[in-house]
Amino acid sequence: MNATSNAAPGASAQPPKSRLRQSPFRAWWTVGLLCAFYIVSYVDRIIPSLLVAPLKQDFDVTDVEIGLLFGGAFAIFYGVLGLPLARIADVYNRKYLVLGGVLLWSLCTTLSGAATAYGILVSLRIGLAIGEAALSPSAYSMIGDLYPPERRSLPAAIYATAGSMGGYGAYIVGAAVISIVSAGGVAQIPLLADLHLWQLVFFTVGIPGLLLGLVFLATTKEPARAAAQTDSAPPVKQVAGYFARRYRLFIGLFLGAGGVNLIVFAYGAWAPEFFRRTYDWTIGQSGFAFGAIGVPASAVGTLAFTLLSEHLRKRGRQDGLVIAALTASLIGCAAAVAAPLAPSAAGALAGLAIMIFALSGCSNLAVVSVQHIVPGRIRATAIALLFMCTTMVGLGLGPPVAALIAAALPTGGAALGPALSLLAAITLPVSAGLILWSRPAFIRQLTNLDT
């Protein structure tokens, strides 16, 4: 027999690197552009949270309608389309899928500056969601084929970090754009003098994505795919049955993570406006401060609670990941309840830093858990279902429900802080309870994992 007789059919023992890989410079250039897209996508996604006051004034809408614009209009389409777009990325040209997504969301962001009605803004927000839903499935797939297995971890981690830190860094970028536009320099450009602040901001943040998309088109290549796996994907009915038989495990973890993200997204939508209304800050100050605490807090929290779960596991606690997630959710709950009730802006920022630290750690552990409890054949499906749950529950409900609670309270515009506190007091204990409820099933699954 030859040396490759025991290899899986359809795969060679040493695939030629020239066929499967690109030059190191081109590979890192592609990763860098994908990271830039990830950051730009967050800027375009969060910018309405920094434009609440001018949008309400010019479109005559309520906080609830702003919450739906930020959350519901985006979350439903982003969450639902994640699975089919991931399948498309597995089969068709990923470079053009990424390019199409970038151009679509950037064009929708730019055109938002020309919207003349709230319904048009909502429609463009849906277009933004569809475009952004194409990015990450394609990006992770491209990175997997740009590098051999032993070198994939670093570029994949860099891309993930661009997302986790870019989510809060986008507030800093958005605040800087608003400050520059507010200073009046952009308004001196011919044809822009009569535009409102929110229009100039949408134009300013939308155009970079279009330009980056052209650079991506001209300077990158679709990487060749590695040899296909011989095992076919399990039938949909079989996959559904797998999750249904373990309903306690996945409902507990996925809905628990969804509740945690409900608070994260509620604060993401309303924290800058909360500081403007409560402490009389400018929206530029509010966005910069929220982003400045969010970037380090999310990074440190993600690392700290991952290390805690590993420490507990090494000490013999099979449920170490669940205990770490439960601890993070309880700490985050206390901070989220207390932060908007603080008598000073500094106290509120400190509370939000603790909340972001803890809840970022909890959210990450939900993703990590999938690596431990789901067989490799359906792991991508499990991740997609988790993201669908956290997006549709968290982003879809968090921003509008916070606004609904505020509207029901008697203190008018000052009710935003109490509403966020009340929402956290109701939601996070339920999330912690769901995580705790999943604990016995988690231990059983670790013991009996099908591989």
pLDDT digits (tens, 9 = 90+) for 214-254: 999 999 998 887 654 434 556 778 878 888 898 898 899 88
Q: Where are the alpha helices (DSSP H) in 13-117?
A: 17-20, 24-46, 52-59, 63-67, 73-91, 94-112
Does 304 lie in the same domain as 215?
Answer: no
Instruction: Look at residue 14 and tell me if it is in a domain.
Output: no
Instruction: Look at residue 151 and tell me if it is in a domain.
Output: yes
Asked whether residue 10 carries a pLDDT value surpassing 90, the answer given is no
DSSP H or E stretch at residue 211: helix 197-219
pLDDT at 412: 63
Does 166 lie in the same domain as 109?
Answer: yes
Tokens of 84: 């089919």
Which carries the bigger pLDDT value, residue 366 or residue 37? 37
Nearest alpha-carbon partner for 263 in 340, 160, 166, 175: 340
Does 244 lie in the same domain as 215?
Answer: no
Does 150 lie in the same domain as 97?
Answer: yes
CA distance 353 to 292: 10
The interaxial angle of helices 416-437 and 396-408, nearest 10 deg, is 130
DSSP, collapsed to helix, strand or coil, labels residue 10 as: coil
Does 285 lie in the same domain as 426?
Answer: yes
Cβ atoms 253, 364 nearer than 8 A: no
CA distance 395 to 76: 9
Residue 317 binned pLDDT confidence (cut-offs 50, 70, 90)? confident
Distant-in-sequence, close-in-space partners of 372: CB < 8 Å, separation ≥ 6: 321, 446, 449
Domain around 426: 233-446
Asked whether residue 450 carries a pLDDT value surpassing 70, the answer given is no
pLDDT at 229: 43
Cβ atoms 409, 415 nearer than 8 A: yes
Q: Which amino acid is at 116?
A: T
pLDDT at 151: 77
Average pLDDT (369-393) is 77
Q: How does pLDDT run across 21-47, given as a tens digit for each residue?
A: 678 888 999 999 999 999 999 999 999
Distant-in-sequence, close-in-space partners of 57: CB < 8 Å, separation ≥ 6: none
Instruction: Look at residue 13 and tell me if it is in a domain.
Output: no
Percent of the chain with pLDDT over 70: 88
Q: What is the pTM of this model?
A: 0.82
Q: Torsion-angle region of residue 316: left (phi > 0), alpha (psi -120 to 50) or beta?
A: left
Q: Which amino acid is at 397?
A: L
CA distance 429 to 243: 25
pLDDT at 18: 38
Does 237 lie in the same domain as 140?
Answer: no
Distant-in-sequence, close-in-space partners of 118: CB < 8 Å, separation ≥ 6: 59, 61, 65, 69
If one counts the domains in the chain, the total is 2
CA distance 302 to 365: 8
Segment of 92-96, 159-163, 266-270, 407-411 carrying the highest mean pLDDT: 266-270
Tokens of 325: 């997630």
For 406, list phi and psi in degrees, rounded to 5.
-60, -40
Instruction: Look at residue 197 and tell me if it is in a domain.
Output: yes
Cβ atoms 83, 138 nearer than 8 A: no
Does 291 lie in the same domain as 217?
Answer: no
Cα end-to-end distance, the chain, whole Å: 29
Average pLDDT for the chain: 85
Residue 2 binned pLDDT confidence (cut-offs 50, 70, 90)? very low
Instruction: Look at residue 433 and tell me if it is in a domain.
Output: yes
